[in-house]
Amino acid sequence: MTPVLFLVVALAGGLGAVARFMLDGAIRSRVGTRMPWGTLTINLSGSFALGLIVGLVGAGAFGGEWQWALGTGFLGGYTTFSTASFETVRLLQERRLGAGLVNALAQLVAATALAGLGLWLGGLA
């Protein structure tokens, strides 16, 4: 890894974190905080985007240092497994078992399905 690539990935990670913060805040302000819709939206869209990038790289339609800047940097800062885990535990602690189960399964199943969809679509390029 070159020093320039290191800086680009770090900058992209910071931008991804800012994008996550802004989108989560916008969603929370519209639908409230009873269910973690912001984190779910972020992780689902990030999973799809990463699948798409990997598919495009595999198809030879995208690559170079941009794959690292967008995939590892931006999407690494944008998505958040730890917050999703924490919010699921919080729902369970509040004895909202249905909401906790839906959140956990949506994070796992839907994110995996969307990553697969993005990978497939990217591979078509």
CA dihedral (80, 85, 89, 92) in degrees, to 10, reads 100
Residues 43, 95: Cα–Cα separation, whole Å: 24
| pLDDT given for residue 65 in this prediction | 86
Q: Residue 36: helix, strand or coil by DSSP?
A: coil
- Confirm whether residue 76 is marked as ligand binding: yes
- Confirm whether residue 79 is marked as ligand binding: yes
| pLDDT given for residue 125 in this prediction | 85
54 sits in which H/E element = helix 37-58
pLDDT mean values, one per 10 residues, the chain (125 residues): 95 98 98 96 98 96 91 97 96 97 96 98 94
Domains of the chain: total:
1
Which is it for the CA torsion 27, 101, 79, 49, positive or negative?
A: negative
| pLDDT given for residue 61 in this prediction | 93
What range does the domain containing 18 cover?
3-123
